[in-house]
């Protein structure tokens, strides 16, 4: 079903759904898209979800959607919504089932000449050490007590137990550790689902890529991030696996009962929510923090196995090869932040679902290493075109609660991709581009085929022209591991 409601053009990169479009809207909705993109944006009726989000109790500012917007659970993927941190409501649909799905970028000082003819062997070793695919299990065996500490301390636990370097934490959002986590609020089923999966990518759109820095657009910022044209980098995209999925499932069920019992009027029950000042809202937030910590520990452990894979194949130390983490960003999360609203400082809870924090230079939340140049923002395109590295800019603080896009965004559903594409066709396309691919499942290749995604160049153009971010570098893949 296509969107047929009101859509007013604000400027070259923004469109508005006015608050009189649908009953119950408490504010307007703003969609970031170019004129070339807006037809596709409206084709799956995702704008209706952006309008629905405007009905959330306690919403502050506009309901927003980034140019990678597409249909999701309750909230559109690419959605951003802030609510008053005391009187507003928190909604699991505004965070997603894969809590703290995010992206980590690891640089190296190597070039492809340094890797030589070992590229395929390197990808094979990574494929062995970083399991992928539906239900994949990690190489790390931890017990329930360990998992409790992981849910509590995230990447800190991983580093303290030998999975990485202390300085990795400095360049991880939140230091890889949300302090309000309470593992007692996570169900036994979530524990059991997450226990065997630490250190694995999983399925769906998750991946590990071997990339080369093809272009540098901002030399000074790229230098601050440690990126140099022609060098090799590793991009990791995954989240909280079955643990986060179960946390979301458990609390959605409770919130559906809550809105029914308390007669909370919402246009879609998938927007089920609870006030932040209620016991249920507080419990979910603390459990969500646990899911976020699991995801950061997961990506930290994958970093460790990645470094070990390079060491084994190339015969040098990770330290000597300059394998530092550039940054790790979350794009399915809710964060308590302070923002300027109508010239006043206000404490809000920002839901980012398929949206990335993009704080401008000077914000105290940015590690000192990058505070003068802005927060790194890592935006994958599709498995054939690679990843953009951006920097947060002032426009995001003024317009989107410090948020930007998270990827290219789907233009074909997974079902449509499976029905219209062939395995051989996708493999040939990757091979023709010189990209060596390993995969956890054939179906995953079809679902995540390049043709299933929007033009990431156009998505990036919109968020940069709108002043939310600035281009720093472009990475292109030479090897891909897909779930």
Q: Catalytic amino acids?
A: 406
In angstroms, the CA 132 to CA 180 distance is 30
Identify any residues that bridge with 207 across adjacent strands, giving them in sequence order: 237, 482
HSE-up (13 A, CA, CB side) for residue 183:
18
Query: CB 99: neighbour CB atoms within 10 A?
Result: 30
Q: Would you say how long the chain is, in residues?
A: 483
Q: Residue 35 burial (CB < 10 Å; 0-12/13-18/19+)? A: exposed
What 3-state class would DSSP assign to 335? Answer: strand
In angstroms, the CA 212 to CA 122 distance is 14
Hunting for tokens 């079955």 — which residue is that?
A: 242
Residues 434, 463, 168, 81, CA torsion sign: negative
Exposure pattern of 293-306 as b/e (b: 16+ CB <10 Å)?
Answer: bbbbbbbbbbbbbb
Query: CB 220: neighbour CB atoms within 10 A?
Result: 10
CA 36, chain centre distance (Å)? 25
Q: Specify the pairing of strand 436-439 against strand 469-482.
A: parallel
Hunting for tokens 């409501």 — which residue is that?
A: 89
What are the C-alpha distances in Å from 346 to residues 91, 349, 350, 468?
20, 10, 12, 20
Q: Residue 227 burial (CB < 10 Å; 0-12/13-18/19+)? A: buried
In angstroms, the CA 20 to CA 368 distance is 44
The closest of 306, 315, 251 to 282, measured between CA atoms, is 251
In angstroms, the CA 452 to CA 62 distance is 29
Q: Specify the pairing of strand 29-32 against strand 59-70.
A: parallel
């Amino acid at each position: 079903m296509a969107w047929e409601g009101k859509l007013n053009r604000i400027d070259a990169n923004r469109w508005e759904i006015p608050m009189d479009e649908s009953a119950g809207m408490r504010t307007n909705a703003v969609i970031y898209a170019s004129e070339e993109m807006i037809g596709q944006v409206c084709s799956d009726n995702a704008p209706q979800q952006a309008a629905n989000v405007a009905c959330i109790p306690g919403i502050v500012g506009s309901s927003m959607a980034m140019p990678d917007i597409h249909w999701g659970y309750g909230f559109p993927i690419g959605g951003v919504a802030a609510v008053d941190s005391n009187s507003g409501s928190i909604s699991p649909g505004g965070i997603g089932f894969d809590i703290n799905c995010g992206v980590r970028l690891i640089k190296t000082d190597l070039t492809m000449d340094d890797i030589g003819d070992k590229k395929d062997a390197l990808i094979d070793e990574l494929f062995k050490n970083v399991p992928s695919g539906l239900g994949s299990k990690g190489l790390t065996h931890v017990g329930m007590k360990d998992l409790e500490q992981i849910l509590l301390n995230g990447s800190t636990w991983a580093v303290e137990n030998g999975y990485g370097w202390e300085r990795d934490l400095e360049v991880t959002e939140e230091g890889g550790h949300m302090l309000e986590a309470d593992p007692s609020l996570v169900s036994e089923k979530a524990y059991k689902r997450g226990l065997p999966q630490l250190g694995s990518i999983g399925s769906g759109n998750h991946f590990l890529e071997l990339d080369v820095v093809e272009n540098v657009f901002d030399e000074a910022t790229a230098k601050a991030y440690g990126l140099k044209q022609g060098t090799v980098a590793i991009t990791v995209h995954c989240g909280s696996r079955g643990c986060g999925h179960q946390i979301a499932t458990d609390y959605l069920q409770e919130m559906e009962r809550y809105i029914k019992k308390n007669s909370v009027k919402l246009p879609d029950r998938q927007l089920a929510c609870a006030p932040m000042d209620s016991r249920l809202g507080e419990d979910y937030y603390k459990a969500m923090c646990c899911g976020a910590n699991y995801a950061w520990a997961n990506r930290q452990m994958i970093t460790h196995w990645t470094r070990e894979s390079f060491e084994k194949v190339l015969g040098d130390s990770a330290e000597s090869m300059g394998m530092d983490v550039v940054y790790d960003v979350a794009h399915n999360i809710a964060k308590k932040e302070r923002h300027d609203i109508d010239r006043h400082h206000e404490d809000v809870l920002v839901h980012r679902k398929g949206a990335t924090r993009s704080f401008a230079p000077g914000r105290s939340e940015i590690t000192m290493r990058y505070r003068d140049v802005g927060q790194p923002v890592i935006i994958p395109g599709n498995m054939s075109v690679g990843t953009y590295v951006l920097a947060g800019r002032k426009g995001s603080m003024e317009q989107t609660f410090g948020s930007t896009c998270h990827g290219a965004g789907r233009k074909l559903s997974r079902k449509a991709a499976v029905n219209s594409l062939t395995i051989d066709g996708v493999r040939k396309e990757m091979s023709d581009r010189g990209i060596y691919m390993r995969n956890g499942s054939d179906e995953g290749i079809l679902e995540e085929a390049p043709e299933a995604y929007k033009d990431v160049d156009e998505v990036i153009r919109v968020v940069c022209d709108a002043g939310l971010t600035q281009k720093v570098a472009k990475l292109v893949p030479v090897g891909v591991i897909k779930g």
